[in-house]
Amino acid sequence: MAITGLFLSFFLIIHLLGNLQLLLPAEEAQLQYNSYSHFLGGNILVKLVAYVLYLCIILHSLDAIYLAYRRKKANGVSYSYDRRGRASTWYSRNMTALGIIIFVFLVIHFKDFWYHYKFGDLPTDVNGNKDLYTLVVVAFEQLWYVILYIIAILALGYHLLHGVFSAHRTIGLYHPMYNKVIRVLGVVFAVAITIGYIIIPLFLYINFQS
Amino acid sequence: MKIKLKIWRQRDSRSKGEFKEYHLDDVSKDMSFLEMLDTLNIKLIKQGDLPVEFDHDCREGICGQCGVMINGIAHGPLKNTTTCQLHMRSFNDGDTIHVEPFKAAAFPIVRDLKVNRSAFDNIISSGGYVSVDTGQAPEANSIPVTFEEAESAFDAAACIGCGACVASCKNSSAALFTSAKISHLARLPQGDKETSTRVVNMVNQMEEEGFGYCTNTEACQVECPENISVLNIARMNYEYNKAKVLAKK
């Protein structure tokens, strides 16, 4: 859970940095983003990392299902009057629910962009690269799609808020000072990722309103 | 004070339990929570009813015997306090108080508020000790231990094994209890020698007893009467991962 989670968190940084190219002026962004996507699709090293990524998503999900099963089994009969929530944060107790939101989002996300790019028939830009940029921009002209993304990214943000430090705890970081450092860095990371990913759909929606 | 109690009554582990309502009209705010239950039991016995069974021993907050869910929280509203050290002044006149036993698959209910915590004993006997020859007491200064080491080991050793960590955990994990013993002994030169075998045995035993996995919500430390640090869990994970990675067979 911890190792796959940390790898997925690391991927989020790379994915965000790549996608920030969408914020460039339209013509420049189109050519650069399409050639960037073309490069990613063609590079053998990137392909290998992509397979690790798919594997991590699957293992992380399977692990979550197993944890939920163990929880149900270990809890036995539930409390009739339960106020235990005061001792922990709501998002730390609801990582499974947040994870399900993220998973459903990923299915939509993969279908709309990854599948279309890999297996769909996309027109090309002037450089001859598949025009993923236009596909993205058109998608984010719809308000409901932007709202869907924002909800999913907020879920991701809370998932990270607990997940990043929790992963380090599971791996065994017990040093009191570095534990505090990771706690703070985990929050900074979660906030930065959330803001970074929310800016993109919002920016595209506002800029391409006709 | 007038108090309305809703207490979990259950004949044995196999029967179905339910909340029963009781009223006490003359509760003093200086009574401990257990003394209030004693008062109720005297009343019940006089009426010819069966008293409410609950665990207790020292009533000084050091033995770890008492422990019930009070208004849905292990050991009641005060943080880092045992049930016996909770007093009725923490409640208001006319309050309704829900009292339930700790619930987890590994803690079967014996009767009413009493649960069987033998699973904890099994975890300790699977490795929570130092294997040494008994005999004459060794020279105290032959193994140097610094003040800081001794203090931090003692902080972990302060666990009284009440089970509030398991009861407070959404996963019913015994990670705080088990890790307290592992990190107590790992911090001392006498105990550290056996850390790798100890941690693997105790973690395996913890799983065998049917406790859940830790997902680091940290609720356990908040409700722990001894405020045992969740960093002990990190230490246990570290020692466990190290033992597994460096395993010779």
Residue ranges making up the domain that contains A46: 2-71+95-207
Number of domains into which chain A is organized: 1
What residues in A contact B234, CB-CB < 8 Å? 168-169, 172-174, 179
pLDDT band at residue B195 using 50, 70 and 90 as cut-offs: very high
The verdict on B201 touching A (C-beta cutoff 8 Å) is: no
Note whether residue A103 is domain-resident. Answer: yes
- Give me B119's structure tokens: 């699973």
Q: Do B154 and B105 fall into the same domain?
A: no
Note whether residue B136 is domain-resident. Answer: no
Note whether residue B225 is domain-resident. Answer: yes
The verdict on A73 touching B (C-beta cutoff 8 Å) is: yes
Q: What is the Cα B144 distance to its own chain's centre?
A: 32
Question: Scanning the structure block, which residue is given the tokens 């007038």?
Answer: B2
What is the per-residue pLDDT for A210?
58
Note whether residue B135 is domain-resident. Answer: no
The verdict on A177 touching B (C-beta cutoff 8 Å) is: no
Q: Do B73 and B148 fall into the same domain?
A: no
Mean pLDDT value across residues B199-222: 97
Measure CA of the first residue to CA of the last residue in chain B; give whole Å.
Answer: 64
pLDDT in tens, B54-107: 999 999 999 999 999 999 999 999 999 999 999 999 999 999 999 999 999 999
What residues in B contact A96, CB-CB < 8 Å? none
The verdict on B209 touching A (C-beta cutoff 8 Å) is: no
pLDDT in tens, A32-48: 999 999 999 888 999 99
Q: Are A129 and A40 in contact (CB under 8 A)?
A: no
The verdict on A142 touching B (C-beta cutoff 8 Å) is: no
* CB-CB under 8 Å, A87 with B73: yes
Q: Which value does ipTM take for this structure? A: 0.91
Mean pLDDT value across residues A95-124: 92
Q: Which segment of A63-72, A116-125, A139-148, A153-162 scores lowest on mean pLDDT?
A: A116-125
* CB-CB under 8 Å, A81 with B72: yes
- Nearest CA to CA, how far is B153 from chain A (Å)? 14
> What pairs with residue B4 in β-bridges?
B23, B96
Query: Which of A169, A173, A177, A179 best probes binding to B when mutated, by most B CB atoms within 10 angstroms?
Result: A169
Note whether residue A173 is domain-resident. Answer: yes
| Stretch (H or E) spanning B21 | strand B18-24
Check whether A85 has a pLDDT greater than 80.
yes
What residues in B contact A171, CB-CB < 8 Å? 237-238, 241
What is the per-residue pLDDT for A183?
95
What is the per-residue pLDDT for B237?
97
B59 three-state secondary structure: coil
What is the spatial order of strands in the sheet that B69-70 belongs to? B18-24, B3-9, B96-100, B69-70, B73-74
Number of domains into which chain B is organized: 2
* CB-CB under 8 Å, B19 with A71: no
Instruction: For residue B30, give Cα distances in angstroms to B33, B37, B98.
Output: 9, 13, 20
* CB-CB under 8 Å, A172 with B215: no
* CB-CB under 8 Å, A88 with B172: no
Q: Do B123 and B229 fall into the same domain?
A: yes
- Nearest CA to CA, how far is A171 from chain B (Å)? 6
Note whether residue B221 is domain-resident. Answer: yes
Q: Do B106 and B7 fall into the same domain?
A: yes
- Nearest CA to CA, how far is A59 from chain B (Å)? 17
Q: Do B125 and B228 fall into the same domain?
A: yes
- Nearest CA to CA, how far is A81 from chain B (Å)? 5
B68 three-state secondary structure: coil
What residues in B contact A186, CB-CB < 8 Å? none
> What pairs with residue B114 in β-bridges?
B111
Note whether residue B215 is domain-resident. Answer: yes
User: How far apart are the C-alpha atoms of A196 and B5, rounded to whole Å?
Assistant: 52
Strands (E), B26-113: 69-70, 73-74, 96-100, 109-111
Note whether residue B174 is domain-resident. Answer: yes
pLDDT in tens, B148-183: 999 999 999 999 999 999 999 999 999 999 999 999
What is the per-residue pLDDT for A120?
83
- Nearest CA to CA, how far is A173 from chain B (Å)? 6
What residues in A contact B222, CB-CB < 8 Å? 86-88
Q: Are B218 and B173 in contact (CB under 8 A)?
A: no
Domain with residue B65: its CATH number is 3.10.20.30
User: How far apart are the C-alpha atoms of B77 and B92, rounded to whole Å?
Assistant: 12
B24 three-state secondary structure: strand
Domain with residue B239: its CATH number is 1.10.1060.10
User: How far apart are the C-alpha atoms of B109 and B103, rounded to whole Å?
Assistant: 8
Q: Are B182 and B239 in contact (CB under 8 A)?
A: yes
Check whether B229 has a pLDDT greater than 80.
yes
Note whether residue A84 is domain-resident. Answer: no
Instruction: For residue B207, give Cα distances in angstroms to B82, B83, B187, B216, B245.
Output: 26, 27, 24, 17, 20
DSSP string covering A45-84: HHHHHHHHHHHHHHHHHHHHHHHHHHHHHHH-SPPSS--G
Note whether residue B137 is domain-resident. Answer: no
Average pLDDT of the residues of chain A: 93
Q: Do B78 and B156 fall into the same domain?
A: no
Q: Do B11 and B106 fall into the same domain?
A: yes
Residue ranges making up the domain that contains B241: 117-130+142-245
Q: Do B125 and B198 fall into the same domain?
A: yes
Q: Do B12 and B104 fall into the same domain?
A: yes
